[in-house]
Amino acid sequence: MGIRIHKVMGWGLADLASGRRGYWRADPRVNWDSPLVQFEGVSAQEYFRWLEERRRARGDKFSFSLDWAVLAHTKPAKTDLSACLTYSPEYGKPQVLVLTPFGKPDWCRYDDDIDYTMETYLRPGRKAQMNHVEVLRHPPFPFNGFYMDSQTGDRLNDRVMWWIRARSNYEAMPKARRAEHLAGLDILAAECTPYANHEEACARVIPQVPEEIRDLAEFGKVFTDPATWLTLRPMLYTYWS
């Protein structure tokens, strides 16, 4: 592989399809003419103006946006959105596209000595210096603890995940306590979950896609179908160049 390591965290797709003869830019979900996908250096101030127009139009219904706050109250070192989308089919994995909030520049880094050491010497059972992506089961800070329904995008009561975890640990409990445990879980389920059973909940509860990611995708016209945001998942992506 190459000598420089890149690590990127965000929400994205890890299953982009290739075309005939391995042509990379073929997945119909992605707008390959998007200025963000084309890395055209879209101005951060242009993005801020777009967020401001949305804030004024929504008024009190405008939910907090980390990107808006960073752009409104600080002078960020970055002046464009080039680090907000990662797609590197030549050096990285052509199946992977990642969106990173503008307000989280620390989620993108390269040529870090610690990362290099870990990926070169401290990955037992795996070849050193290989490209890889891990899809995360839970959202990273500061979005941790937020979950949504994968079909509707509706944000879920935080107790839904408590119930899922407790129900998943049912068989690990002493048999003498299982009946009491299940009775308590049934009460909690009635109060907090819209799902018919544990299996349905496990299939539909996913990490919530942050507004910052949805804003970037909409502003940059990254996807051909706006509903594609429902399929984005949090991930940690490592590649070399």
Angle at 210 between CA 230 and CA 153, to 5 degrees: 35
49 and 131 housed in the same domain: yes
What does pTM read for this prediction?
A: 0.87
Least confident of 39-48, 185-194, 196-205: 185-194
79 and 189 housed in the same domain: no
Pick from 181, 220, 163, 183: which is nearest to 33 by CA?
220
What's the chain's average pLDDT? 87
Query: Residues 179-202, buried b or exposed e (16+ Cβ, 10 A)?
Result: eeeeeebeeebeebbebeebeebe
Is residue 155 domain-resident?
no
pLDDT of residue 69: 86
Question: With 70 as the cut, is the pLDDT of residue 219 above it?
Answer: yes
Is residue 124 domain-resident?
yes
Per-residue pLDDT of 18-41, as tens digits, reads 877 667 888 999 999 999 999 888
- Of residues 165 and 95, which shows the higher confidence score? 95
Query: Residues 78-92, buried b or exposed e (16+ Cβ, 10 A)?
Result: eebbeebbbbbbeeb
121 and 194 housed in the same domain: no
pLDDT of residue 2: 57
Q: How many domains are contained in the chain?
A: 2
14 and 132 housed in the same domain: yes
Residue labelled with tokens 């982009």 = 16
DSSP string, 119-176: HHHS-TTS-TT--EEEE-SSPPTTSTT-EEETTT-PBPPTHHHHHHHHHHTGGGS-HH
Per-residue pLDDT of 78-129, as tens digits, reads 689 999 999 999 899 999 999 999 999 999 999 999 999 999 998 878 888 9
Percent residues over pLDDT 70 in the chain: 86
Pick from 42, 187, 19, 28: which is nearest to 89 by CA?
19
107 and 137 housed in the same domain: yes
Question: With 70 as the cut, is the pLDDT of residue 202 above it?
Answer: yes
100 and 200 housed in the same domain: no
16 and 134 housed in the same domain: yes
pLDDT of residue 57: 85
178 and 130 housed in the same domain: no
| Residue 167 lies in domain | 161-206
Residue labelled with tokens 């979900």 = 29
